[in-house]
Structure 1
Amino acid sequence: MIAKTRERTLKLALDTLSIEADALLTMRDRLAGSNADALVLAVELLHSCKGRIVVSGIGKSGHIARKIAATFASTGSPAFFVHPAEASHGDLGMVTRDDVFVALSNSGETEELLTIVPIVKRTGAKLIALTGAPDSSLAKLADAHLDTSVEKEACTLNLAPTASTTATLAMGDALAVALLDVRGFQAEDFQRSHPGGRLGRKLLMYVSEVMRSYGDTPKISQEAPLSEALLEMTAKRMGMVVTLDEHQKVAGIFTDGDLRRLLEKSSNLTDFSLKAATTSKPHTIPAELLAEEAIEMMEKHRINHLVVTDSQGALLGALNLHDLFAAKVI
Structure 2
Amino acid sequence: MFNLERRSVLKAGATSALALASLPGVISSVSAASPKRRVVAESAFARIVEVGDGVFAVVSTPLDSEGRFAAPQTLCNGGLIVGDERILSIDAYYQPEGAAWVNEQAKKLFGRPVSDVICTHLHLDHTGGLAGFQDGAVGPEIYMTASTWALMVEQYSGGTAIEGTPFIAPPAKLVGPTRVIEDESQLVSMNLGGRSVTILPLAGHTPSDLAILVDDLPITFGGDLAWWGLFPNYVDAVPSKLAPSLAKLMSGGSRLMVTGHGGLVSTDDMAPYAELIASIDTAALQAREQGWSAEKAGDTYKMPASTADWGFFNPRYPERAIGAWFREWGMDDNAA
Under a length normalisation based on structure 1, what TM-score does the superposition of the two structures give?
0.27
Higher RCO structure (Cα 8 Å, ≥6 apart): 2
Q: Over alpha carbons, which structure has the higher Rg?
A: 1
Q: Which has the higher helix share?
A: 1
Q: Which has the higher strand share?
A: 2
Under a length normalisation based on structure 2, what TM-score does the superposition of the two structures give?
0.26
